[in-house]
């Protein structure tokens, strides 16, 4: 199958000769982010994904399945193992933390197609999206603003249909990039909904399709889609996840500008669902609608109801005294004068482990200029923490807190990862210090004078 580059960005090509290769100018959501080197990296990476895709096709044809690891493609289906490494990957395919990574070769690309997961979920997802969903992803490309400030990492995706397209981390929110155009995306999502119209696992299709209708100025289709969803939603289902129905409907109503109808629905839930554990999500949705309508005071009130941690921003972080896993006393006061990341995590938390290489990079870059990390592990068994640290040696101190950690309550931790960043005076900068934002916040904080 011929590969097509679905960069919805601008691709400018000049006549190809042996010395004059195509030049690519890449825009993402209207913002030019590529330097000359980044454009070159994207071109090389797209070539790599092309070769990987051909190899996966050949492997699937022979085995009627996919390999558990990309390295299994070499040497029979992929003669050059260097294509498994993206030039934008600073670590050249060698993981900072040797955790759940390809055991045979350096690999830059995200690939999660082990037989069990593929049979249980990806095969169904592949059918729904008509092969437009990714099988291999590269997370090493930068999205920058006009001042060359890193906003986020972009992903170059290789789909099951052998197309290569660019997206943010959540590829489901980029149907135009997936299918190559707005009309193709509408047709793709309409077909997808015909396959799974009542499956809550794919209700995101409704929200994204209605955005496409609005963008294509197809108001009647948008109205029909809302009516259709109302007819299949089950708001009175005893399953606690019935709130997916509500959130989907509220999102759809907001997209078409029916803020008042969405607000009335949420206010009804606020009154009737006072014991529901997802009640804070109701407050957050109400806050967002008030914010969109310019009601700043009401928005702030409901944002605080949704997440009381917001009131801690800019204030002194709660001090604590504990014993680290080496038996030594540790407290936040010990770190006064340093920028500190208090990282709540667990070995069973995939996003926590996924963020560790980023934390390690930031730590290595700023540890000598006043930055440090304290890990607070929330595993149920401390042996799991020690077993993890044998494989992944983290250089900062760790506190084993367990599921009932008093620090968890002190910092109002409701889920992990929960990375709290404090300045040199011990004041809270953020409780969501992750990804590209972590490096930016730490860089700014270490420069500030005490």
Rounded Cα gap, residues 184 and 236, in angstroms: 35
Token duo for residue 240: 């606690």
Strands (E), 21-133: 27-28, 31-32, 110-111
Helix (H) or strand (E) holding 303: helix 296-306
Q: Among 95-104, 320-329, 367-376, 384-393, which is the least confidently predicted range?
A: 95-104
**Annotated domain spans of the chain:** 4-180, 219-312, 321-447
Residue 323 is classified by DSSP as E
148-189: pLDDT as tens digits: 555 567 899 999 988 898 888 899 988 998 898 899 999 999
Token duo for residue 363: 């730590």
Q: Answer whether 421's CB lies under 8 Å from 428's CB.
A: yes
pLDDT at position 41 over 70:
yes
Give percent above pLDDT 70 in the chain.
88
Rounded Cα gap, residues 73 and 371, in angstroms: 42
* 3-state DSSP assignment of residue 139: strand
CATH level 3 topology of 321-447: Glutaredoxin (3.40.30)
216-258: pLDDT as tens digits: 999 999 999 999 999 998 765 555 556 778 889 999 999 999 9
Rounded Cα gap, residues 375 and 378, in angstroms: 10
- Is domain 219-312 in CATH 1.25.40.10, yes or no? yes
* Predicted model pTM: 0.78
pLDDT at position 7 over 50:
no
Helix (H) or strand (E) holding 83: none
Task: Kindly indicate the confidence band of residue 54, based on its pLDDT and cuts at 50, 70 and 90.
Answer: very high
Q: Answer whether 5's CB lies under 8 Å from 46's CB.
A: yes
Most confident of 18-32, 197-211, 273-287: 197-211
Strand-strand pairing, 418-422 and 339-345: antiparallel
pLDDT (mean) for 118-141: 90
């Amino acid at each position: 199958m011929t590969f097509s580059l679905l960069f919805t960005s601008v691709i400018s090509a000049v006549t190809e000769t042996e010395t004059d290769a195509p030049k690519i100018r890449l825009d993402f959501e209207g913002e030019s982010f590529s330097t000359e080197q980044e454009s070159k990296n994207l071109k090389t990476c797209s070539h790599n994904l092309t070769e990987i895709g051909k190899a996966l096709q050949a492997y699937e044809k022979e085995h009627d399945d996919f390999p558990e690891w990309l390295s299994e493609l070499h040497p029979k289906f992929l003669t050059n193992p260097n294509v498994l490494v993206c030039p934008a990957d600073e670590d050249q395919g060698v993981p900072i933390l040797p955790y759940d990574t390809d055991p045979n070769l350096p690999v830059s690309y995200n690939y999660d197609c082990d037989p069990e997961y593929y049979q249980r979920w990806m095969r169904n997802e592949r059918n729904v999206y008509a092969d437009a969903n990714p099988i291999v992803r590269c997370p090493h490309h930068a999205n920058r603003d006009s001042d060359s400030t890193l906003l986020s990492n972009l992903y170059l995706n290789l789909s099951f249909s052998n197309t290569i397209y660019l997206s943010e981390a959540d590829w489901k929110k980029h149907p135009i990039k997936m299918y190559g155009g707005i009309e193709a995306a509408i047709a793709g999502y309409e077909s997808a909904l015909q396959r799974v119209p009542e499956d809550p696992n794919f209700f995101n299709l409704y929200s994204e399709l209605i955005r496409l209708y609005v963008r294509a100025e197809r108001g009647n289709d948008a109205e029909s889609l809302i009516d259709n969803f109302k007819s299949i939603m089950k708001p009175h289902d005893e399953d606690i996840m019935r709130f997916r129905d509500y959130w989907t409907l509220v999102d759809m109503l907001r997209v078409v500008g029916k803020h008042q109808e969405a607000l009335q629905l949420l206010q009804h839930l606020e009154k009737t669902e006072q014991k529901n554990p997802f009640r804070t999500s109701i407050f957050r949705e109400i806050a967002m609608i008030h914010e969109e309508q310019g009601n700043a005071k009401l928005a702030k009130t409901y944002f605080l109801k949704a997440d009381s941690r917001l009131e801690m921003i800019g204030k002194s972080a709660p001090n604590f005294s504990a014993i680290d896993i080496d038996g030594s006393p540790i407290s936040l006061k010990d770190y006064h004068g340093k920028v500190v990341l208090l990282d709540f995590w667990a070995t069973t938390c995939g996003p926590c482990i996924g963020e560790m290489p980023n934390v390690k990079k930031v730590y290595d870059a700023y540890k000598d200029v006043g930055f440090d990390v304290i890990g607070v592990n929330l595993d149920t068994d401390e042996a799991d923490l020690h077993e993890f640290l044998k494989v992944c040696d983290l250089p900062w101190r760790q506190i084993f807190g367990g599921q009932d950690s008093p620090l968890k309550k002190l910092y109002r931790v409701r889920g992990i990862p929960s990375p709290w960043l404090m300045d040199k005076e011990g004041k809270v900068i953020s409780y969501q210090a992750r990804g590209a934002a972590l490096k930016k916040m730490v860089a700014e904080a270490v420069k500030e004078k005490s």
